Each structure stands twice: as structure tokens, then as C-alpha cells.
Chain A
Amino acid sequence: MIEFRLYIAQRLSAAILAPLVLLHLGVMIYAIQGGLSAEEILARTRGSLLWGGIYGLFAIAVAVHAALGLRNILREWARLRGSWLALASWAFFGGLLFAGLRAVAAVVGW
């Protein structure tokens, strides 16, 4: 049952991420021209509820998706099982979620 729930979480997070990644690809291609500067990036993101919301959702979904993907790899390729598998997946999820939301807070200025 837990595997089924994780499978659904993986697919749901993928469905949330798909449009966000397409948007991110577009933003990157737009933003890269003329080089990147902190001023340029922060002028766009500082105080923006929209960018903060979009990238906040992005950070949460990517933490779920990446941790579950890594869990699959650890299970199938590294043959990790049981508590070690759970510990590694949760640790990666927690670390990525914290770092991701911190990064969003940093560029939005919250």
C-alpha cells in the first residue's frame, strides 16, 4: 500500500512540476541573454507574491519528486531496504525542502 501511495505522490508531483519546469525553461532562456546579474534577478523576484508562490510550489513539488526518484534508485540499484531506505529518502526530502524554501525566501526577500 505504501508503495502505491508513493507511486501516486511521484506522479502527482510530476504533474505539478511539468508546467512549472516548462515555465522555468522559458524564464531561463529569457533571463540568460546579456548575462546574469544579482540585480537583474532580484529586481524581478523581490517582493513578488506571484514568483514567490510559483517557486515555493516548485520547491515543495521538486523535494517530493526528487526524494521519491532517489528512493527508487536506492531501492533498485543500491538494493537499500527498510529503515535505511526510509531514512535516506526522508533526509534527502527534508534537506531539499529546507534548502529550496530558503532559496525562494532569499530571492523573494521574505
Chain B
Amino acid sequence: MKAHRRQPLYLAFLLHRLSGLGLALFLPLHFYVLGLALGGDAAFDRALHWTSGPLFKFAEFGLVFLLAVHCFGGLRLLALENLPWSNRQKNYAAIAVAASVFVACGFLLRAF
């Protein structure tokens, strides 16, 4: 394994990239379901009903986590690049993950 890949911040990079990829692949499906509203409320409602099972709730929890971790990880990157902060990258990465877990769990608790 290359040396840089053993760094904790490589994990932060990987998490940011993979969460972004997951979200990019999910978006067309998300837009498709929302677009069903063009065909009337019934078609949209059927799709929403279809996705109301527990398996989907956990999948949605995963998606909310991906969105939150990509958002907080991205804020960490913007802060590192644009604000005069330094040497706290690991803390920001940890805070980003913790905040994402918190948000995603909040979503899951309300979903059931």
C-alpha cells in the first residue's frame, strides 16, 4: 500500500469521493421519482408508497448519511482552502463524520 494511503486523511478523501459518487448515481433515480408528479399525484404517490418499507428506510438512512458526510466533508475542504486554519484537519474530518451520523440517525428515528 502506498504511504499516503495509510494516512487517516486519505480515508477522508476516499469517503468524500465515494459518497459523491454514490450521490451522483442516486440523483437520476431521485429526479425520476420526483418527475412522476408530472403524470399526476397518483403515480407519484404509488412510487412513495413503494419506497415506504423498512428496507428502503435503511437505504434512505444510508443516502442521508452520504449526503451529510459529503456536505460536512466538503465544508471541511472549503474551510481548509479558504480560511486561515491549519493542523486541525483530522479534527474537522472527525467532526464531519460525527455530524453526519447524527443527522442520518435523526432522519432514521423520524422515519419509523
A103 to B112, alpha carbons, bound, how many Å?
26
Given A25-B68, A25-B103, A69 and B24 touching (CB < 8 A)? yes
Which range contains the number of B residues in contact with the other chain? 35 or more
Which range contains the number of A residues in contact with the other chain? 35 or more
Do A33 and B45 have beta carbons less than 8 Å apart? no
Interface residues of B in 2-37 (CB under 8 A from A): 17, 20-21, 23-24, 27-28, 30-32, 34-37
Partner of A66, one of B27, B41, B75, B106: B27
A37 to B24, alpha carbons, bound, how many Å?
25
Given A11-B81, A14-B78, A107-B37, A73 and B110 touching (CB < 8 A)? no
Which residues from chain A sit less than 8 Å from chain B, CB to CB?
A: 11, 14-15, 17-18, 21-22, 24-25, 28-29, 32-33, 35-39, 41-42, 59, 62, 66, 69-70, 73, 92, 95-96, 99-100, 102-107
In the assembled complex, 12 residue pairs joining A and B whose CB atoms fall closer than 8 Å, in A order, are A21-B67, A25-B67, A38-B41, A39-B41, A41-B48, A42-B41, A70-B21, A73-B21, A103-B32, A106-B37, A106-B38, A107-B37
Which residues from chain B sit less than 8 Å from chain A, CB to CB?
A: 17, 20-21, 23-24, 27-28, 30-32, 34-38, 41-42, 44-45, 48, 52, 64, 67-68, 70-71, 74-75, 77-78, 81, 103, 106-107, 110-111
